[in-house]
């Protein structure tokens, strides 16, 4: 830990890289974007962005990750002129003869996929609450939205996800 | 039996006897292919295709004589009889796309995967035609109208998984002249022809078969881009590979994101089919085909770099490993 | 099938259900919610559905980064510029976006990036060109319907 209380790149990469990658993967939905996002978080940590209060380091990293993720979403939204059709993603069907029981066990994958169908704002709220475990107040501070909005996004996100997996 | 490939290609293929060469001469698809080579004609062809933006129609003029085929639309394509393919863009000048040195093996027989049944008669471009339906299992993939007199394909409809028409290539006018004028092959102003190669070096890969019964029938290289051409008896499918990475901001904007075994890919429509674009391990892949999108997705699964969906055992192993390293 | 979540404005609990599950309702509000749940099957169903989604999300396993990711992260530490090593530095996934961000960093960090071996250059496949190459290669099942689309304007919206 440096004098400023902000953890070093090395500390974050060594001790929290896996956690950060996990959160990034749930937010972005894929490996490539998750790796990018982790790098971006480290760069922001390096620049001392955000105000780290000694205590919940992983919560703090998650907040940086979520904001970096939403920044990127907004940046891309500006750049893509043509709005993509609002169709469910095509997902490759299982190979013939795939073990049927594997489907039931593959639930986390389905949950992950359903999570990606939520809009980035809803997904961010749900990930911060259920994957990272932040309180509504912390989420409210992270996303800069009122607590009531946090609650409604989390609730609606969960309901949509449940419905997608019916 | 008369071989279906040109002499140049055949000499390269004497060792690779393909079952396609022995396939029944009365296979209507084989007849249609031969008719397009053997008959002279002029006419107009309408292309109708459907994508997220709606329906599109375009009309092109076609002319064919002695095996040379010229298609004149926005681009002019000339398929000279020795299998050299030229392309002229609006700006003028000709590109040589494929030269006579390109070789490819014969296609696998369509009968191993598709069932073709004659279902009735129709009139297309004022000509009598027989209608054939091509099915993969129970799914109707294509409906063809073959000219009763010549076996030329007068109309080809591509259907989606729910039986909806996705793409139609159809003559609106067709004339079989008494004295065909042979189009003179152009001189290429820019030779970008792909050359046939026999093997690829890692990290590229060109498996002899892909899922869904696609067999490799050609392998080419041009300007650092490798093209492996596959066929399943009905559809052609190309896998292009080039070194590099795909910046997500730089993929053409009309793509629809799809998941390829957990890996992000982009799907596109073009008037003749689909394109699937992804990158993995420092290689950019572009799959181009007139086949249904599910064929592309499944065929991509055969390429080593496309992330495979993990088996249950592998998933459990990963979870255990992650618990140990916590 | 759960139907859309209720807004909470119609006498049902709506997002207070998630508040209840997350322990984010005050004591009085929580008691009131529980009383309502005892008599409202619709809210009870919604609570169960949302509770299931919550439980699935909370049981999502951690995801392993690809092999070597942590090492690459460590090696890319810009502070290494202040204590250079002889050993070759492994690059971060060199992509343009990352490089663009890095451009704003201190000169020391930029300098160390210069030490990285060149990453794979970005490739922007000329999709139109590839489509043409596909349509004109090989023999096709029917050369006509294969070649005709090449005569049609194609744009992928670069």
Enumerate the residues of chain B whose CB falls inside 8 A of the CB of residue A18: 322, 325
Is the dihedral angle over the CA atoms B11, B16, B22, B25 positive or is it negative? Answer: negative
Question: Given a cut of 50, is residue B32 above it in pLDDT?
Answer: yes
pLDDT of residue C121: 63
**Within 10 Å of residue A74's Cβ, how many Cβ atoms?**
11
Lowest mean pLDDT among A127-131, B2-6, C8-12: B2-6
Q: For residue C19, give how far its alpha carbon lies from the nearest alpha carbon of chain B (Å).
A: 31
The residue ranking higher by pLDDT, B280 or B48, is B48
Residues with Cβ < 8 Å from B315, sequence gap 6 or more? A105, A106
The answer to whether C120 contacts chain B (CB < 8 Å) is yes
Of residues C69, C8, C66, C13, the one with CA closest to residue C37: C13
pLDDT of residue C139: 61
Query: Torsions phi, psi of B81, nearest 5?
Result: -70, -20
The answer to whether C133 contacts chain B (CB < 8 Å) is yes
Per DSSP, chain B holds a count of helices (H) and strands (E) of 4, 20
Measured CA to CA, the distance from residue B257 to residue A87 in angstroms comes to 10
Secondary structure letter of residue C92 according to DSSP: P
> What is the largest distance, in Å, between two alpha-carbon atoms of chain C?
76
Contact, B176 vs B150, CB < 8 A? yes
Contact, B234 vs C115, CB < 8 A? no
The ranges of chain C with pLDDT < 70 are 1-9, 76-123, 138-141, 153-154, 157-158
**pLDDT class for A51, splitting at 50, 70, 90?**
low
Burial (Cβ within 10 Å: 0-12, 13-18, ≥19) of residue B220: buried
Q: Is A136 close to C19, i.e. CB distance below 8 A?
A: yes
Of B249, B253, B322, the CB nearest to A82: B253
Predicted TM-score (pTM) of the model is 0.54
Question: Given a cut of 60, is residue A77 above it in pLDDT?
Answer: yes
Q: For residue B162, give how far its alpha carbon lies from the nearest alpha carbon of chain C (Å).
A: 22
Enumerate the residues of chain A whose CB falls inside 8 A of the CB of residue B259: 30, 89-92, 113
State which residue of chain A sits closest to B298, comparing Cα positions: A92
Enumerate the residues of chain B whose CB falls inside 8 A of the CB of residue A82: 253-254
How high is the mean pLDDT of chain B? 76
Q: Which of residues 99-128 of C touch A (CB under 8 A)?
A: 101-102, 105, 109
Question: b/e for B161-181, b at 16 or more Cβ within 10 A?
Answer: eeeeebbbbbbeebebeeebe
Lowest mean pLDDT among A76-80, B277-281, B305-309: B305-309
Of C149, C151, C154, the CB nearest to B76: C151
Q: Report residue A71 CA to chain centroid gap.
A: 12
Of residues B211, B200, B46, the one with CA closest to residue B124: B46
Instruction: Give residue-wise pLDDT tens across range A130-157.
Output: 988 888 998 998 899 999 999 999 999 9
Q: For residue B312, give how far its alpha carbon lies from the nearest alpha carbon of chain A (Å).
A: 6
DSSP-based three-state secondary structure for B227: strand
User: What average pLDDT does the segment B283-299 reach?
Assistant: 88
Of residues B255, B249, B212, B252, the one with CA closest to residue B234: B212
The residue ranking higher by pLDDT, C27 or A53, is C27
Q: What is the CA radius of gyration of chain B?
A: 21
Q: Is C57 close to A39, i.e. CB distance below 8 A?
A: no
| The two three-digit tokens of residue C54, written as one number | 């919550």
Q: Is A159 close to C5, i.e. CB distance below 8 A?
A: yes
Measured CA to CA, the distance from residue C108 to residue C114 in angstroms comes to 10
pLDDT of residue B128: 94
Q: Which of B85, B104, B254, B295 to mutate to test the interface with C (most CBs of C within 10 A)?
A: B85
Enumerate the residues of chain C whose CB falls inside 8 A of the CB of residue B322: 61-64
Question: Given a cut of 60, is residue B7 above it in pLDDT?
Answer: no
Residue keyed to tokens 């955000």: A50
**pLDDT class for A96, splitting at 50, 70, 90?**
very low
User: What average pLDDT does the segment B72-95 reach?
Assistant: 70
ipTM above 0.85, yes or no: no
**pLDDT class for B287, splitting at 50, 70, 90?**
very high
**pLDDT class for A45, splitting at 50, 70, 90?**
confident
User: What average pLDDT does the segment B159-173 reach?
Assistant: 86
Q: Is A92 close to B254, i.e. CB distance below 8 A?
A: no
pLDDT of residue B98: 67
């Amino acid at each position: 830990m440096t004098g400023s209380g902000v953890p070093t790149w090395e500390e974050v990469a060594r001790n929290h890289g896996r956690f950060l990658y996990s959160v990034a993967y749930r937010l972005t939905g894929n490996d490539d974007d998750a790796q990018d996002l982790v790098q971006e978080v480290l760069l922001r940590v390096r620049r001392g962005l955000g105000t780290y209060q000694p205590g919940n380091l992983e919560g703090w990293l998650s907040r940086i990750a979520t904001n970096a993720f939403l920044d990127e979403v907004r940046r891309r939204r500006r750049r893509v002129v043509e709005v993509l059709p609002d169709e469910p993603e095509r997902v490759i069907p299982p190979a013939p003869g795939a073990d049927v029981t594997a489907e039931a066990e593959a639930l986390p994958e389905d949950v992950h996929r359903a999570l990606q169908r939520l809009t980035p704002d809803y997904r961010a709220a749900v990930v911060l609450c259920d994957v990272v475990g932040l309180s509504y107040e912390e989420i409210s501070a992270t996303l800069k939205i009122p607590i009531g909005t946090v609650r409604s996004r989390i609730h609606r996100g969960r309901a949509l996800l449940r419905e997608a997996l019916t | 039996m008369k071989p279906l490939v040109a002499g140049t290609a055949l000499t390269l293929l004497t060792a690779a006897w393909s079952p396609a060469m022995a396939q029944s001469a009365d296979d209507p698809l084989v007849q249609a292919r031969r008719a397009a080579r053997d008959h002279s004609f002029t006419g107009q062809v309408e292309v109708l295709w459907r994508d997220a933006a709606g329906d599109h129609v375009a009309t092109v003029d076609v002319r064919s004589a002695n095996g040379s085929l010229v298609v004149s639309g926005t681009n002019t394509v000339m398929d000279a009889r020795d299998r050299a393919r030229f392309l002229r863009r609006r700006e003028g000048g000709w590109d040589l796309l494929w030269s006579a040195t390109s070789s490819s093996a014969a296609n696998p027989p369509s009968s191993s995967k598709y069932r073709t049944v004659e279902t009735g008669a129709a009139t297309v471009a004022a000509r009598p035609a027989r209608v054939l339906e091509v099915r993969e299992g129970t799914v109707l993939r294509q409906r063809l109208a073959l000219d009763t007199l010549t076996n030329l394909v007068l109309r080809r409809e591509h259907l989606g998984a729910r039986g909806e028409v996705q793409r139609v290539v159809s003559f609106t006018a067709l004339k079989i002249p008494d004295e065909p004028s042979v189009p003179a092959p152009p001189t290429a102003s820019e030779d970008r022809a792909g050359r046939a190669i026999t093997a690829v070096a890692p990290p590229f890969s060109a498996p002899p078969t892909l899922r869904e019964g696609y067999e490799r029938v050609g392998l080419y290289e041009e300007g650092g881009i490798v093209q492996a051409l596959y066929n399943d008896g009905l559809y052609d499918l190309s896998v292009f590979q080039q070194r590099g990475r795909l910046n997500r901001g730089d993929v053409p904007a009309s793509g629809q994101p799809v998941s390829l075994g957990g890996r992000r890919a982009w799907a596109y429509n073009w008037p003749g089919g689909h394109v699937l674009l992804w990158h993995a391990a420092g290689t950019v892949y572009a799959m181009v085909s007139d086949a249904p999108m599910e064929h592309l997705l499944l065929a991509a699964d055969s390429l080593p770099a496309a992330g495979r969906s993990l088996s249950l055992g592998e998933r459990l192993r990963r979870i255990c490993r992650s618990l140990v390293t916590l | 099938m759960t139907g859309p979540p209720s807004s909470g404005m119609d006498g049902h609990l709506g997002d207070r259900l998630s508040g209840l599950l997350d322990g984010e309702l005050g004591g009085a509000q929580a008691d009131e919610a529980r009383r309502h749940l005892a008599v409202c099957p619709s809210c009870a169903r919604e609570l169960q559905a949302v509770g299931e989604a919550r439980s699935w999300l909370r049981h999502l396993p951690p995801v392993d980064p690809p092999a070597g990711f942590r090492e690459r992260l460590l090696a890319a530490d810009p502070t290494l510029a202040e204590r250079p090593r002889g050993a070759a530095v492994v690059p971060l996934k060199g992509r343009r976006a990352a490089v663009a961000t890095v451009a704003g960093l201190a000169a020391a960090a930029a300098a160390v990036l210069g030490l990285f071996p060149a990453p794979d250059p970005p490739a922007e496949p000329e999709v139109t060109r590839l489509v043409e190459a596909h349509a004109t290669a090989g023999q096709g099942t029917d050369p006509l319907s294969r070649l005709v689309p090449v005569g049609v304007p194609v744009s992928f919206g670069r």
